[in-house]
Amino acid sequence: MERIDLLLDGKQVTARSGMTILEVALENKVYVPHLCHHPELKPAGVCRLCYVELEGKGPVLSCRTPAEAGMVIKTRSPLVDEIRSGLVELLIADRHDDCPSCAKKGRCELQKIMGYLRVNKKKARRLRFAEGALEPDTSNPFFNLDPNKCVLCGRCVRTCSELLRINAIAIIGRGYRSKVAPLGAKPIAQSSCESCGECVERCPVGGLVYKEYKRPEKHVLTVCPYCSSGCRLTLGLQKTEIVSAQGERLCARGRFGWRYIYAPDRITAPLARTEGRLVEVSWEDAIRLAATHFARYRGEEIAVVVSAKCTNEEAYLFQKFARSVLKTNNIDNTARLSHAASLEALWEATGIGAATNSLEELEDAACILMVGANTARTHPAAARKVKEAAEKGSRLIIVDPVENDFRRFAHLWLKPYPGTDVALLMGIAGVIVEEGLLDLGFVEERCENFEELRGSLADFPLGRVERLTGVPREMVAEAADVFARSKPAAVLWSTGVTQYLHGKDTVCALINLALLTGNVGSSSAGLHPLLEQSNAQGACDMGCLPGFYPGYQPVAGEGVREKFEAAWKTELNPEPGLAFTELWDAILDGRIKALYLVGANPLTELPGGYRVLESLERLEFLVFQDLFLNETAGHAHLVLPAAGFAEKDGTYTTADRRVQRLRKVIEPAGRSLPDGEIIRRIAAAMGATGFDFANPAGVMEEIASLVPGYGGIGYEKLAEGALVWPAGTAVLHKQAFHRLTSKAKLFPLDYQGPEERPDVEFPLVLVTRRNAPYYGTCAHKVDGFRKLAPGEYLEVSFKDAGDLGLGDGEEVKVISRQGGLRVAVKVTEDPPPGVVVLNYNLSQDPGKALMRREMRACAVRIERFL
Amino acid sequence: MDEELAICKKVLPFYSTRHHLIPVLQELQSKIGYLPEKVIVEVSRHLRVPASDVYAVASFYDQFRLQPLGRKRIAVCRGTACHVRGAPQILKRIEAMTNLKEGETSPDLEYTLETVGCIGCCALAPCVRVNKEVFGEMSPERVAELFDVFGEEDGNA
């Protein structure tokens, strides 16, 4: 970069070409008044306060004037001060100027400027326009928007569009009546605002302020506990209380979601069931109770399900406990209900059960295929990257039966009937093979099974694909053409794929597409399962899977058991175990008698068809470990209080294989303990060895020695930042796939279709969708999220609403083969005719009651109340 | 499908980019009478412009209406000539009769009351325009006649 010299206030300074005069001044610690400038935003030149005097030219706007060699600049002169003072007077003339009573006092940039320019507030009042005060918008539970204090610098609006691409707010109206507001000038809580607070962070004045603000005294870097993007979170502390969260582009969950830690209904002591009631007991009694009961059962009779929000160290200890102490492979994690299928399919195909590339690379993808992913709701950080890529010219192909806020970024939107994705994707693959659009060199050299795949593609002629999916054949062909011709192309998917019964087939079909077009093993391409929970990847990596030891080493694999028997110095059960979803039948027919649930709520997470309630009642011993009591806890014999993400040390692994440190910031609430400590105590009480680690760092040492990908990962190195497994490799499979043959596997597939098809009695297909970005982990324990959650409603297309005679807002009965519920109707453009969308928020999906084993869709009919 | 969205479906295919925003809004308003929120959302979806931006543009220009208009738009001229010949009294009288303030529309969507700068027929001052018809040489007393005329036209004064 070229360096240039210029004279600033009589001092020689050096700048890089491309910098504006304002940037040069601020970098050299010379203050120039400014409001609309923000280092992360493009220059706007709105507030006009940053005038400086440029020799030979007079006053220029420093935020929009590039610095040039030889410039002589005065940041203060009578001329520019007069301009600035006049502008500031006009700014404050119509604003609230009662600084002492303002929440922003002391941190207000306008107050600073008034001091700098010695502006006389009283004098400015002579310019006051007669119009009265505007109504502040206090509808959002986290922040207030006060137009009386707003200086219309537009930082918030530009943050929302330039940085976040949410575009919830704009400056509306004109002249005196302009103000920052969302569509329709409605209260902000009723808009598309996602409450991320990024605008509040950047507001220079008291226009946008947090409702509760406490100035943090110190900061601790940790990881956000919500989704698998693993955003770095800096928690601000006042004494021993968390008061704020900051980070680079947080979403609402990152910024405010930590508040669940302080929810008043945390479980703070162990509880044991005595005479039908849960009663507080001491930790000693609770541990003894757990240990004596667990000891009574044989390995096959007991199962452990671990939350995918536990740390790697905890997940490792849980599976070690299940395998080496309880002698069972009935160990699974809650990602079973969202993404275990993805990771298992990826493991089968490529030899590594993880995303092949990092999400950072998306911005240079020429094409992004996004399937069954409501990314803006579930992974705001990934959504932002996809939107940025689309704006840069990446062609975005979306496969989803229901439109969402990605519509203005999408190049193509395919809307297959729910549960028919396999047919659609195989149709696309068929076109790619038939038209010769495939990367033949890659397929021949690096893949196996191609002939078998080609054979099964014959079952998917476009006519059949169109009939099964409802997607016009031209669109299928166009999608194939765009996807195959744009390289590199990345594939993203989420629970809209994996929560269908045949989700694994769909994942296989997606892997086929990426392999056929040679999009694995190069940067900005690859396969990206957007995992839900913060440590879904880690929980699977750590072997909380019934068929795999840590590092995806198969239970039935040759020499694998022996390796772990030697490492753990004990005998292990050779039989692969049961998955979370397979437990319920086993409990009902008496094969499983005891269950240890850590951070799982199967009663509401599993669809009705699993008969979870009946199963729970049948259990002889149920241990429930969590931060809060829930529906499932009501059936527990023992409840153990767990610590939250800010109350323990450990590591999380993101969906793109970054291992990051989670840091203990505060002491656990009440008598709760970190999951790792609880399992350590139970293991000790059962007389097991190999659990007496001094701290999580010690556990990580053992992990690093036993899990191939995690070799070399340790707390010392993690202190400096994230580590990518394996061995810092961002792009996997560059030279060879990690299978015995070094080749990737293509999957011939059959179409099996959704569990339920509509018929005369149940003519509509219901799918569920989260309609608010506030869910997961313990989002429902955050007051503000509960207030923002818009409630459940059923979206019905205009056509179906017309046929059934339904009005907007009408309450109806939705009846499936499994159950029924009552919900209000919203008539919209989004669902295709024949499909209705049950929108819900927070953590519980009411639609599960309607379903059998499929978790996202079922056939229903709608009845009116007459 | 509802009527306004049906109009969007007809109009929007002729436009494609952000540059068409104002002409699109003009055409839709001329067909629908105003710009309801769902139309703004539809425009946003079609032109790939954020809905908040479409709303910002629509709210900036006086020519765009975000509220529906009454079937009878009463425009009282406040040009200089009309003003000196008694427009304020006429406006007051109409306000009293319709129970509306300037800029408002009656809840039954019958009347919208507005004021305009000059209609260009100062010789007839003071003037009131109702939809496209101009009534000249008005006086507070004659205001009632306006409503009689409407009554005769469609039988619901």
ipTM over 0.95 threshold: no
pLDDT in tens, A488-501: 999 999 999 999 98
pLDDT in tens, A767-818: 998 877 777 778 889 999 989 887 889 999 989 999 999 999 999 999 999 9
State the amino acid at position B115 in one-letter form: T
State the architecture of B72-154 in CATH terms.
Answer: 3-Layer(aba) Sandwich (3.40)
Cβ–Cβ of B55/A192 closer than 8 Å?
no
**Among A500, A731, A682, A476, which residue's Cα sits nearest to residue A607?**
A500
Nearest chain B alpha carbon to A802? B1
Average pLDDT, chain A: 94
Domains of chain A: 3-126 (3.10.20.740), 130-262 (3.30.70.20), 283-336+536-724 (3.40.50.740), 340-529 (3.40.228.10), 764-864 (2.40.40.20)
Judge whether residue A423 has pLDDT over 90. yes
User: Nearest C-alpha of chain A: how many angstroms from B51?
Assistant: 6
Judge whether residue B157 has pLDDT over 50. no
Per-residue pLDDT, averaged over A134-153, amounts to 94
**Among A647, A542, A725, which residue's Cα sits nearest to residue A222?**
A647
Nearest neighbour of B45 by CB, restricted to A168, A173, A408: A408
Q: What is the pLDDT of residue B69?
A: 85
And the tokens for A158? 């530009």
Kind and range of the H or E run holding A11: strand A11-16
Q: Which residues of B touch A798 (CB under 8 A)?
A: 1-2, 5
The residue ranges of every structural domain in chain B are 3-60, 72-154
**Interatomic CA distance for residues B47 and B59, integer angstroms:** 18
pLDDT in tens, B49-87: 999 999 999 999 988 999 888 888 899 999 999 999 999
What DSSP letter does each residue of A655-718 carry, written as one string?
Answer: TTSEEEEE---SPPSTT-B-HHHHHHHHHHHTT-SS---SSHHHHHHHHHHH-GGGTT--HHHH
- Residue B13's pLDDT band (boundaries 50, 70, 90)? very high
Judge whether residue A833 has pLDDT over 60. yes
**Interatomic CA distance for residues A68 and A57, integer angstroms:** 13
**Among A352, A350, A395, which residue's Cα sits nearest to residue A370?**
A395
Nearest chain B alpha carbon to A170? B52
**Interatomic CA distance for residues A338 and B116, integer angstroms:** 62
Q: Where are the beta strands (DSSP E) in A359-468?
A: 367-371, 395-399, 412-414, 447-448
Per-residue pLDDT, averaged over A710-727, amounts to 93
pLDDT in tens, A21-59: 999 999 999 999 999 999 999 999 999 999 999 999 999
Query: Kind of pairing, strands A72-74 and A51-54?
Result: antiparallel
Per-residue pLDDT, averaged over A742-757, amounts to 93
3-state class of A747 per DSSP? coil
Length of chain B: 157
Q: What is the pLDDT of residue B154?
A: 47
Long-range contacts of B21-26 (CB under 8 A, 24+ apart): B21/B47, B21/B49, B21/B54, B21/B57, B22/B57, B22/B61, B25/B54, B25/B57, B25/B58, B25/B64, B26/B63
Chain A stretch 808-847, residues whose beta carbon is closer than 8 A to a beta carbon of chain B:
829
Q: At what angle do helices A675-685 and A283-295 cross, to 10 degrees?
A: 60
* Cα–chain center distance at A760: 39
Q: What is the pLDDT of residue A16?
A: 94
User: Nearest C-alpha of chain B: how many angstroms from A403?
Assistant: 11
pLDDT in tens, A442-479: 999 999 999 999 999 999 999 999 999 999 999 999 99
- Residue B156's pLDDT band (boundaries 50, 70, 90)? very low
Contact between A310 and A553 (Cβ < 8 Å): no
Per-residue pLDDT, averaged over A327-334, amounts to 97
pLDDT in tens, A354-397: 999 999 999 999 999 999 998 988 899 999 999 999 999 999 99
User: Nearest C-alpha of chain B: how many angstroms from A170?
Assistant: 6
Q: What is the pLDDT of residue B145?
A: 81
* Cis status of the peptide bond prior to A225, with omega within 30 of 0: no
Query: Kind of pairing, strands A277-280 and A271-274?
Result: antiparallel
pLDDT in tens, A537-572: 999 999 999 999 999 999 999 999 999 999 999 999
Q: What is the pLDDT of residue B59?
A: 95
**Interatomic CA distance for residues B6 and B110, integer angstroms:** 24
Q: What is the pLDDT of residue B152?
A: 46
**Dihedrals φ, ψ of B142, to 5°?**
-80, -10
Average pLDDT, chain B: 89
Which residue is listed with tokens 């600084």?
A: A99
3-state class of A245 per DSSP? strand
Judge whether residue A161 has pLDDT over 60. yes
Q: What is the pLDDT of residue B1?
A: 58
Whole-angstrom CA distances from A380 to A253, A327, A388, A532, A769 are 10, 40, 12, 12, 16
* CB contact A408 to B (< 8 Å): yes
* Cα–chain center distance at A295: 39
Q: How many CB atoms lie within 10 A of CB A341?
A: 24
* CB contact A185 to B (< 8 Å): yes
Burial class (CB in 10 A: 0-12, 13-18, 19+), B63: exposed
